[in-house]
Copies of this chain bind each other. A is one copy, B any other.
């Protein structure tokens, strides 16, 4: 039945055929974490004026030449520069003007002596105990940015706080970015009931809507929750049609029985403009995954077991969403990986990549990765796990004590650090 079982590498190649979504313009204040869809070029010189980088006195450097602690230069204080204003003073030879950090140099001045080297003799006179070079402690009008130079590259990485800061400094109050992917999420299964209901014998509550929606949020995408759906051809088809209208991709998590999977496949194939791309992936767990292109959009049939669906999400859907969101530097695995020592031998069937859930524990000066085993279909094993351990396709297992790299779930803040 798995006519189109693909290797993970083949699946990544297929994912790469899906391009970024369109552009939109957002206010700078909302641009954190977004991906630029155009290069940002400096529209002006910054700071645009001669700016002091220190508290001190603006002087003509020449007037300080030869000054030392024992033989200081004596300068007349002719005023003070106010912050944020063009100074209305012009400096004459032998004069100094009091300067705040960030202030604009007055005409005639070409350097700033730090306040530490100035000694006030009286209100109008200072001693300068150190010579400065021309332009010392001065930011030139185009020191920070020269008009026309590239500042930020499109598609490189989600905008960071400092990236917004630089755009603020350049006056770019609107930013053109790629649209955030919208993901339609459908949970199917005759046995699945809403979380708020008490299951009757044979029923289970809907889990995948919650895990997949949160996974989208974690991946800088917006989930569009289309709710629960019976294992019924027309119902599923109508729901997918709605998903294709309202979102950029549709994720349907089906039952784990062969019958439920067959149904998902039949619905995908019933779309006139459907192309079946993947029917099974040679990984475990996660093998029963279906990918089709309907029109221009990718539609995923995910395993019903939450644990399997989550592995597929971590390995394939995360890079797929990065692809839609316009990240040029496509990389299969951008996972935070952490090195640990394996706590026991694990066996793996060769011929497919196998992912083990592991718990990380602090060992004797290192981290220990402890595989979590449990019956297929349990959800309890999911909360215990800190990450995934991959065993390569042509490896038959790993030994206790081996150094392994663990892909961390939600790397933001792990308690084991």
Interface residues of chain A, those whose CB is within 8 Å of chain B, are 28-29, 32-33, 46-49, 51, 53-55, 82-87, 100-104, 115, 139, 143-145, 151-152, 156-173, 189-193, 195-215, 217-218, 225, 231, 255-260, 304, 306, 310, 313, 322, 327, 329, 331, 334, 336, 375-380, 382-383, 385, 409-415, 417
Q: Given A139-B378, A201-B49, A255-B101, answer yes or no on A334-B304 (Cβ-Cβ < 8 Å).
A: no
- Contact yes or no, B158 A380, CB < 8 A: no
- Other than the known A104-B202, A144-B378, what 16 A-B pairs have Cβ atoms closer than 8 Å? A47-B199, A48-B201, A82-B190, A83-B231, A83-B260, A102-B255, A104-B201, A152-B383, A159-B214, A160-B218, A162-B383, A163-B383, A171-B198, A171-B199, A173-B195, A331-B417
Q: Assuming A28-B210, A164-B211, A331-B417, is B83 touching A255 (CB within 8 A)?
A: yes
Query: Closest chain B residue to A310 by CB distance?
Result: B162
**Least CB distance, A300 to chain B, in whole angstroms:** 16
The listed residue (B53, B86, B196, B413) touching A173 by CB distance below 8 A is B196
In the complex, residue of chain B having the shortest beta-carbon distance to the beta carbon of A413: B334
Check A310 against B161 for contact (C-beta < 8 Å): yes
Asked if A83 contacts B157 (CB within 8 A), the reply is no
Give the complex CA separation of A162 and B156 in angstroms: 29
B382 lies within 8 A of A162 (CB): yes
Closest-CB distance, A99 to chain B (whole angstroms): 9
Tell me if B48 and A84 are in contact (CB < 8 A): no
Asked if B139 and A377 make an inter-chain contact with CB atoms under 8 angstroms apart, the answer reads yes
19 chain-A/chain-B pairs, Cβ below 8 angstroms: A28-B210, A47-B204, A83-B202, A86-B200, A101-B304, A102-B304, A139-B378, A151-B383, A157-B415, A161-B210, A162-B211, A166-B379, A166-B382, A168-B195, A171-B195, A172-B195, A336-B336, A336-B411, A411-B411
Query: A375, B53: Cβ atoms under 8 Å?
Result: yes
A411 to B336, CA, bound (A): 9
A196→B170 CA distance, assembly (Å): 10
Verify B210–A168 contact, CB threshold 8 A: yes
**In the complex with contacts A49-B201, A144-B378, A28-B195 CB distance below 8 A:** yes
Residues of B within 8 A of A87 (CB): 202
Bound-complex Cα distance A299 to B412 (A): 26
Question: Chain B nearest CB: distance from A190 CB in Å?
Answer: 4
A173 to B198 alpha-carbon distance, docked (Å): 11
- A417 contact set on B, CB distance < 8 A: 331, 334
> In the bound complex, what is the Cα–Cα distance between A147 and B376 (angstroms)?
20
Taking a contact as CB atoms closer than 8 A, the residue among B48, B53, B158, B327 that contacts A410 in the complex is: B158
- Max count, chain B CB within 10 A of own CB: residue among A167, A334, A413: A413
Residue from the list B205, B215, B259, B409 in contact with A100, Cβ < 8 A: B259
A169 CB to closest chain B CB (Å) equals: 5
Distance A259 CA – B208 CA, assembled complex (angstroms): 57
Knowing A32-B214, A336-B411 are in contact, say whether A257-B83 is a contact too (CB < 8 A): yes
Chain B residues contacting A322 (CB-CB under 8 Å) are 413
Which B residue's beta carbon lies closest to that of A318?
A: B413
Residues of chain B with a CB closer than 8 A to A304's CB: 101-102
A304 to nearest B CB, angstroms? 7
Closest chain B residue to A408 by CB distance? Answer: B336
Q: Is there an interface contact between A191 and B259, defined as CB atoms closer than 8 Å?
A: no
Contact of A306 among B165, B256, B379 (CB under 8 A): B165
Give the CA-CA distance A161 to B383 in the complex, in Å. Answer: 10
In the complex the two chains form, is A169's CB within 8 Å of B204's CB?
yes
Q: B residues within 8 A CB of A218? A: 32-33, 160-161
- In this complex, the member of A144, A159, A162, A204 whose beta carbon has the largest number of chain B beta carbons within 10 angstroms is A162
Looking at the assembled complex, report how far the CB atom of A30 sits from the nearest CB atom of chain B, in whole angstroms: 10
* A217 partner residues in chain B, CB cutoff 8 A: 32-33
